[in-house]
Amino acid sequence: MAVILHFKLKTDFMADAANRYPENVPGKYYVDNQCIDCDLCRETAPDNFKRNDDGGYSFVYKQPASPDEETRCKEAKEGCPVEAMATTGLIRVHTAVEMPESTGSETRTTPGWPACGGTISSLRGASR
């Protein structure tokens, strides 16, 4: 049985992950210490960003969970006047598992991930 994992590294260097605020929940979006507390992200994506009142900055308290939230977070990131927001991390593109010969050459995908439309054999041939 062969397992193929496809990943791509998606990194945005506007903000610095080393300087991200500890209040940011783990995930794709974060705010770093360049934040000037302009309120743009909290106005654009209020379901995802909150203010640290003591420090005077925004942070991600909830990662986007819907296409609408994703759109609003992306808009907030792109509109940040000091580029204090970024996305980073490994994004899974596709996972395929070849089934034993006795079941044929099926392609199965991890639940929640779209199929790429080919068998493992055709994928191997395409990468050469």
Query: How far apart are the C-alpha atoms of 54 and 48, rounded to whole Å?
Result: 19
pLDDT, tens digit (0-9, with 9 covering 90-100), for 9-45: 444 446 888 899 999 999 999 999 999 999 999 999 9
Q: Spell out the domain ranges in the chain.
A: 11-90
So what's the pLDDT on residue 13? 46
pLDDT, tens digit (0-9, with 9 covering 90-100), for 55-78: 999 999 999 999 999 999 999 999
Query: How far apart are the C-alpha atoms of 69 and 75, rounded to whole Å?
Result: 10
CA 103, 107, 109, 115 torsion-angle sign: negative
Question: pTM of the full predicted structure?
Answer: 0.59
For the domain made up of 11-90, the CATH class stated in words is alpha beta
Query: How far apart are the C-alpha atoms of 97 and 113, rounded to whole Å?
Result: 12
Are 45 and 76 spatial neighbours (Cβ–Cβ below 8 Å)? yes
What average pLDDT does the chain have?
75
Residue matched to tokens 């193929």: 4
